[in-house]
Amino acid sequence: MSVSPLTPPAATSAPGQAELLDFVRRTAADAELIASLPLDPEGRTWLRLEGPGGSEAWVIGWPPGTGTGWHDHADSVGAFLTASGELRENSLAARLPTDGWRTLELTEDVDRERRLTAGQGRAFGRHHVHEVYNDSPGTHAVSVHAYYPPLPRIRRYSRTGQVLRLEQVERPEDWQ
């Protein structure tokens, strides 16, 4: 789905974190677009949008109790913002090796938690490891996300205590 009124003219350079955050903020303020997202009581739903400067963008619906699990967006920078409801983000405040490892022991002080209510969001850099979820017992959440470059891969992790384990690497063709 292309949303022309929200898509600025083609950028002369790659969009950075600030531009992506501005885009998700403006997109989340489009009440008609947010309301057009079909919500499913059991699984996440989404609409794909064209973001600034060739970025990839999504509006995502989160039923109560759903989340992403631990993951990163590889070489993409990004931003997301809660349009309605509330999301929780757990993230790691540590620069992880980019490749060549399967198991990593984390130090005790790397965990960060954010609660993001409607209108709150954040930008992040490459290799940002996090999980996002809606822990509400009864309310859907909707968020807007943007990534540049468009996601080349997503690495999925499991976590037990302070041990982070690479479980899977997904590529765009896996999402079709």
CB atoms within 10 A of CB 147: 24
Please choose, from the candidates 175, 89, 169, the residue with its C-alpha nearest in 3D space to the C-alpha of residue 128: 89
What pLDDT does residue 121 have? Answer: 97
* pLDDT tens for each residue of 145-173: 999 999 989 999 999 999 999 999 998 88
Is residue 16 scored above 80 in pLDDT? yes
User: For the residues 40-61, what does the mean pLDDT come to?
Assistant: 96
What pLDDT does residue 172 have? Answer: 81
